[in-house]
């Protein structure tokens, strides 16, 4: 028999390595459009060519004025999270569209963040640069510019997280000398993403009635930044040697949305079809049918008074546009499952095999984001009340957890137009929209001469 091998832990080893020929710099990129933009405008930017780009460093910087059209009774508040301004996001590589124009990119990003982010990140870096809390403005009078029209909230913001091709890649670095130019088109979201508070700026005045004249927003001084690195000739030679014999595969997340509008019954079924080489997850959300009209923000706590930002566990207010409700029966407590039931169906196979309860959806927000066990970093949803009132996400995971984007492990329906549905029962009969976001893994194959092919 072989002798057992001896292995020393890394913490006991003395080791020194060196990466030769490494260099790094940052580029500032100006948008192709004007430096000023309002709702509905398209902002286009081209990333540097003939460079090795660190896509985790890609950022969008801008100044936002949410009181551009405010009045004496209601001034505008910037929504939670800076990426709320993005209505649609398209990405083109060498003229080929690799990321589709997903409807309501901002809602998708918000939904993914509820389980993907954690409280530490939201309460530190998120509030430092991303405006991760809606109530920050009423807590800090300096957020209102006295020289601005209407005295609405103003801020310098940064978007540094992206859903899809820009961040969710099997590699963090893109060689644009091999794939060609990357162009990004951002369509700004409607003005209804804003919330409002009275001109007195009292904390409890954030609940502004829908009859108030809606404020509008404006972006100024927009620019993008991205880091480029140089790693020496060995890396470039390695890629070219592989290209000489085959293509370079690149996996990334792609998203599709399917909306069932104006459902006023106590049950509904959102049916849609999709063909993909890897269907990874389905995220179902419900919003009031009038979510896209300006209206009052909602508290996520059972208290009738607002909690201090420093004393709250997570955000305590959410804007109307991003209010994701469970729509449980009104006589049921938020902490009780009650009559609500839900179930997914993929090609006539039920997921789960029984009608699930609301508490199972709460548990799945962490489980479907691979956040379980003693060392988990946690999620943003921090109470049953917060979940039911404005952070309700019903999830189905179809890929194998923990494998990352380098492995296609989701449900393979390529060549088959798979029928998928999401059903809810035992809910209130108010008018509501249901949207299902489907996360898939697409693959781009890079060939010689900047030839690209994408399989979704």
Domain containing 106 — which CATH number? Answer: 2.70.9.10
Query: For residue 145, is it within any domain?
Result: yes
Token digits of residue 365 = 């927000």
Q: CA nearest 43: which of 103, 86, 93?
A: 86
In eight-state DSSP terms, residue 353 is E
Query: For residue 288, is it within any domain?
Result: yes
Cis check: omega of the bond before 283, within 30 degrees of 0: no
Ranges of the chain with pLDDT below 70: 1-5, 68-73, 135-150, 199-212, 302-314
pLDDT of residue 71: 62
Query: For residue 18, is it within any domain?
Result: no
pLDDT of residue 307: 46
Query: For residue 181, is it within any domain?
Result: yes
Count of all residues that appear for the chain in the document = 456
Query: For residue 224, is it within any domain?
Result: yes
Strands 452-455, 432-446: pairing is antiparallel
* Rg for the chain, CA atoms, rounded: 24
pLDDT of residue 300: 84
Query: For residue 7, is it within any domain?
Result: no
How many structural domains are present in the chain? 1
Domain that holds residue 436: 25-455
pTM of the model: 0.92
DSSP character string of 413-448: -TTS-EEEEEEEESB--S-EEEEEEEEEEEEEEE-G
Query: For residue 376, is it within any domain?
Result: yes
Query: For residue 415, is it within any domain?
Result: yes
pLDDT of residue 207: 54
């Amino acid at each position: 028999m072989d002798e057992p091998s001896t292995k020393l832990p890394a913490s006991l080893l003395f080791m020194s390595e060196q990466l030769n020929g490494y260099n790094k710099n940052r580029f500032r990129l100006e948008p192709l459009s004007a430096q000023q933009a309002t709702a509905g405008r398209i902002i286009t930017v081209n990333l540097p060519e003939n460079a090795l780009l660190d896509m985790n460093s890609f950022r969008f910087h801008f100044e936002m004025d949410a009181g551009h059209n405010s009045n004496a009774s209601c001034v505008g508040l910037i929504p939670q999270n800076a990426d709320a301004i993005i209505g649609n996001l398209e990405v083109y590589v060498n003229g080929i569209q690799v990321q589709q124009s997903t409807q309501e990119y901002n809602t998708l990003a918000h939904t993914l963040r509820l389980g993907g982010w954690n409280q530490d990140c939201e309460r530190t870096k998120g509030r430092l640069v991303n405006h991760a809390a809606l109530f920050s403005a009423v807590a800090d009078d300096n957020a209102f510019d006295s020289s601005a029209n209407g005295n609405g909230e103003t801020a310098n913001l940064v978007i540094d997280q992206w859903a899809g091709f820009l961040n969710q890649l099997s590699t963090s670095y893109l060689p644009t000398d091999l794939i060609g130019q990357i162009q990004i088109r951002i369509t700004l979201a409607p003005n209804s993403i804003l919330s409002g508070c009275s001109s007195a700026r009292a904390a409890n005045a954030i609940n502004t009635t829908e009859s108030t004249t809606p404020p509008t927003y404006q972006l100024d001084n927009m620019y993008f930044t991205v880091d480029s690195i140089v790693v020496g000739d060995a890396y470039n030679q390695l890629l070219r040697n592989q290209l000489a014999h085959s293509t370079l595969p690149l996996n990334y997340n792609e998203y599709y949305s399917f909306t069932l509008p104006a459902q006023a019954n106590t049950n509904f079924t959102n049916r849609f079809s999709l063909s993909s080489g890897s269907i990874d997850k389905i995220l179902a959300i419900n919003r009031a049918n009038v979510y896209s009209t300006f209206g009052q923000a909602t508290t996520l706590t059972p208290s009738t008074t607002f909690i201090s930002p420093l004393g709250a566990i997570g955000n305590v207010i959410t804007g109307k546009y991003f209010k994701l409700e469970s729509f449980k029966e009104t006589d049921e407590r938020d902490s009780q499952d009650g009559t609500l039931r839900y179930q997914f169906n993929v090609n006539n196979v039920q997921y789960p095999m029984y009608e699930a309860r609301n508490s199972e959806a709460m548990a799945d927000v962490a489980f479907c984001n691979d956040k379980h066990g003693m060392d988990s970093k946690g999620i943003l949803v921090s109470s049953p009340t917060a979940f039911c009132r404005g952070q309700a996400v019903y999830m189905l995971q179809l890929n194998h957890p923990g494998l990352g984007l380098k492995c296609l492990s989701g449900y393979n329906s390529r060549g088959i137009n798979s029928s998928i549905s999401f059903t809810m029962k035992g809910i209130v009969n108010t008018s509501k929209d249901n949207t299902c976001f489907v996360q898939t893994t697409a693959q781009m194959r890079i060939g010689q001469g900047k030839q690209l092919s994408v399989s979704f």
